[in-house]
Amino acid sequence: MGKVCIKMVIGLVTIVAGSQLAIASPNEADSSSADHAKGKRIFAQHCAGCHGTAGKGDGYLLLGPDPANLTRPATRTKSDAALLQTIHEGKPNMPSWKVRLSEPDSRAVLAYIRTLAK
Ligand code: HEC
């Protein structure tokens, strides 16, 4: 019985988090797990194609600079501000995301990248 209840609670939380993502509620920043889920979804959708699902830079390789391995120390040690700037402005071979990702979305995806490096 106890187990069933826990499963139901987890199920409900998942549904609530899922619907929050869909409507991009302004208070989702309050919930770090919802943020993590959002960051993960954005990464899978927009970034993994180049950076690889684990962020190791082994996704789609183009001519020119290869997608950065986001788990390497050179990226890990950069400040949030520096990485957000790259996400906003883009790089050679990386599109600019500022018109497609809101500020909270950019922060969520950056937070997700930080978890990949661990
Ligand atoms: C079309 C391929 C492509 C896509 C899509 C892409 N990137 Fe990149 N990204 C790159 C390339 C290439 C570089 C490295 C450019 C260089 O070294 O000059 C890079 C670099 C970066 C860096 C800088 C790393 C560092 O050490 O400075 C970050 C952060 C980053 N990408 C995040 C993202 C995020 C977040 C997304 C999704 C919203 C994304 N990228 C989508 C190709 C891509």
Please report the pLDDT score of residue 25 as a whole number.
43
Domains of the chain with CATH codes: 2-116 (1.10.760.10)
* Ordered DSSP codes for 42-60: HIIIIIHHHH-TTSSS-S-
Please report the pLDDT score of residue 12 as a whole number.
44
Cβ–Cβ contacts within 10 Å for residue 55, how many? 24
| CB-ligand 1 contact for 98 (6 Å cutoff) | no
Please write the tens of the pLDDT for every residue from 33-75.
889 999 999 999 999 999 999 999 999 877 788 999 999 999 9
For residues 12-38, give the mean pLDDT.
57
Is the pLDDT reported for residue 19 higher than 90?
A: no
Q: Which atom of ligand 1 is nearest to the CA of 59?
A: 2
Which amino acid, residue 31? S
User: Could you tell me how many residues make up the chain?
Assistant: 118
Query: How many Å lie between the centroid of ligand 1 and the Cα of residue 94?
Result: 5
CA distances from 98 to 11, 84, 87 (A): 33, 10, 7
Q: Could you give the percent of the chain with pLDDT greater than 90?
A: 63
Q: Which atom of ligand 1 is nearest to the CA of 64?
A: 12
For residue 60, the number of C-alpha atoms closer than 13 Å in the C-beta half-sphere is 8
For ligand 1, atom 34: residue with the closest CA: 47
Q: Could you give the percent of the chain with pLDDT greater than 70?
A: 74
